[in-house]
Chains A and B, each alone.
Chain A
């Protein structure tokens, strides 16, 4: 089992709708989780971090964490074509400064 798993997509969402991206992790000791966005041919850039159970909102983005279910999600409200990218979920492995990434979900926002 991979340490961090994501549905690779592609996920297609109409402009203005909510895009929902999901991620599960296997290391129950992981405490810190991150969402990176990667445009084609570019490097990953951090968009959200979450450390405790519940929701964390930042503009149009909401990260959700459920440690009991070992589940992390990212919601993008009012999706824009510029949100089209690959979204990478990452978990910080307990006891090590080691960020492990999922395969990424390719998101396309259709105008």
Chain B
């Protein structure tokens, strides 16, 4: 299996622009997680899905952030409009049932 696949690996965008991060979970996994990692706050859970349904989005920082999972093999995290403080590494992870998540390689987002 190729593991969790995220794209793009790096994204540089200007403040105010829309940013879309993409994730393909491991085939057969029924949980999908979006995390954000910064030096100041560490690794924070933003939202997670079970069987494509959002279960807990309490970690989404603001309404500028939204996430979707239209099918079992694809999810997006969108930031609109983006701000410099959104600069971070965004990780997608997936797991099967209650097993621990496997992480993708991350997307390094820089908002200038």
A97 touches B48 (CB 8 A): yes
B42 touches A99 (CB 8 A): no
B45 touches A97 (CB 8 A): no
Chain A residue numbers with a CB within 8 Å of B105 are 42-43
B56 touches A88 (CB 8 A): no
Report the interface size for chain A: residues with CB under 8 A from the other chain: 19
Within 8 Å by CB of B56, from A42, A44, A96, A103, lies A96
Chain B residue numbers with a CB within 8 Å of A103 are 42
Chain B residue numbers with a CB within 8 Å of A97 are 31, 48, 50, 55, 95, 98
**CB of A46, distance to nearest CB on chain B (Å):** 6
Residues of B within 8 A of A (CB): 31, 33, 42-45, 48, 50, 55-56, 91, 95, 98, 100-106
Residues of A within 8 A of B (CB): 34, 42-46, 49, 88, 90, 92, 96-104
